[in-house]
Structure 1
Amino acid sequence: MAAAGGEPGEPSSQNVSDELFQNFYTEVKQIEKRDSVLTSKQQIDRLLRPGSSYFNLNPFEVLQIDPEATDDELKKRFRALSILVHPDKNQDDPDRAQKAFEVVDKSYKLLLEPEQKKRAVDVIQAGKEYVEHMVKQKKKQLKKDGKSQDVEEDDPEVFRQAVYKQTMKLFAELEIKRKEREAKDMHERKRAREEEIETAEKAKRDREWQKNFEESRDGRVDSWRTFQSKGKSKEKKSRSFLKPPKVKMEQRE
């Protein structure tokens, strides 16, 4: 029976993909074995190299460990790497060592949380699936053009590099989106706080105005009464001038 998705005798694209993926992780393990013997300085340089803020978003990349590693393997790797970069072991460069140690510690703690670990694994898987899709599209176009379906990603090392780059890109995009959400949330919280302060200040001003109004009310009433009484007094005086003089009767002799 012909393999699904291919010509008779040809391995299926899924089998090829699985084989490539297995080769990819075999290569990764070889690199991990090689890099695990890096000196303390080399590990610090690796963790603090230019662009490390994005390289180090992948906790498996930081710890140089397979995503399928067990918790026990993860713990052993963390201990070995943390000892290499610990400031006490690098007293000639304690500041950089401290930063590198913090990167290792953060990645380890992240992978101890099931949800965070799953998220990291999902990103790596998404990167792999994207590269597989692109390879499949390339082969499909080559077949349509009647050309050889050999592509550079058939080389396990090229495939590994492609997955690595795509994975790093996905981690970077997620981090950028996270920062954007964080900035937006911070702006919203700041705006809400400003509105809260403005509302409180307005209420305070209203209370002070009402208080001053009530405290000065008696004074205003007294002033009005005084004004009214003075007005009546003036009116009486004005009327007295209007009285006609008394006429004296002439006395006859």
Structure 2
Amino acid sequence: SNSNSHTKDVFLGLSGVKQIEKKDLVLTSKNQTERLTRPSSSYFNLNPFEVLQIDQIKTSFRQAQKAFEAVDKAYKLLLDQEQKKRALDVIQAGKEYVEHTKEGKPTIVEEGDPELFKQAIYKQTMKLFAQEAKEMHERKRQREEETEAQEKAKREREWQKNFEESRDGRVDSWRNFQANTKGKKEKKNRTFLRPPKVKMEQRE
């Protein structure tokens, strides 16, 4: 289903994050910001392929476009204070999940290793975001199904109403036709039954 496919895509993306981080450590937000705002950046940034760090191959361009759309979406979400608060709440929930015990069990990662602790929070946070995305997608699907069912019921009611009105119209037309036909027959019969005129004989 679309919901399962959506969730699968989310978790596939999460599984690839660690590999991407190992593959290219220079792709950090700080380094990218410095690269795009360095001296003479206005000159270097004239080349859109240089800005996006891609070649002219169409596949790379499509991937860069998808990446830009993701960045643009995230930026716009954070401009919305309600959406920003929601994201911060999810991050806080992920942190609290890792920090505290669950059902009497010890913490998932010992706080003695800050890096592992940070990674555990990151992974748990991503799981919560994925779970929330799945739930939102499911709610959207249910709303669409409800809307579709309501529209279908409305169309059926309109069809039934039009059918009944059309049927009533056909019945009225048939009755009028029968009444007119009956009236013509009676008039015609009266004409045939009229007695012939008798001429009076003249006397000589």
How high is the TM-score relative to the length of structure 1?
Answer: 0.51
Q: Any residues of structure 2 matched to 1:20-59 within 5 Å, and which?
A: 51-52=12-13
Q: After superposition, what is the alpha-carbon deviation per residue over 1:39-97, rounded to whole angstroms, capped at 9, x for unaligned? A: xxxxxxxxx998238989xxxxxx967xxxxxxx9xx69x77xx99x964433321111
Q: Which moved more, 1:195-204 or 1:214-223?
A: 214-223
1:199 aligns with 157
Q: Any residues of structure 2 matched to 1:176-187 within 5 Å, and which?
A: 176-187=134-145
- What are the ranges of 5 or more consecutive residues in structure 1 without an aligned counterpart? 1-47, 57-62, 66-72, 141-150, 231-253
CA distance in 1, matches of 2:175, 2:15: 68
1:161 aligns with 119
Residue 107 of structure 1, CA deviation: 0.7
Name the amino acid aligned to 1:203: K
CA distance in 2, matches of 1:55, 1:137: 32
How high is the TM-score relative to the length of structure 2?
Answer: 0.62
Count of residues paired in the alignment: 157
CA distance in 2, matches of 1:87, 1:216: 75
- What are the ranges of 5 or more consecutive residues in structure 2 without an aligned counterpart? 1-8, 18-26, 38-43, 189-204
Q: Any residues of structure 2 matched to 1:47-196 within 5 Å, and which?
A: 51-52=12-13, 88-89=49-50, 90=54, 91-92=56-57, 93-134=60-101, 137-139=104-106, 152-196=110-154
1:239 aligns with none
Q: After superposition, what is the alpha-carbon deviation per residue over 1:150-209, rounded to whole angstroms, capped at 9, x for unaligned? A: x63421111111111110111011001000100000000000000111111111111111
Name the amino acid aligned to 1:111: L
Check 1:138–1:209 CA distance in 2 against 1; reply closer, same or farther (3 A cut): closer
Percent of aligned positions that are identical: 39
Check 1:55–1:211 CA distance in 2 against 1; reply closer, same or farther (3 A cut): farther
Check 1:190–1:159 CA distance in 2 against 1; reply closer, same or farther (3 A cut): same
Counterpart contact for 1:55–1:168, Cα < 8 Å: no
Check 1:188–1:213 CA distance in 2 against 1; reply closer, same or farther (3 A cut): same
Pick the structure with greater CA Rg.
Answer: 1
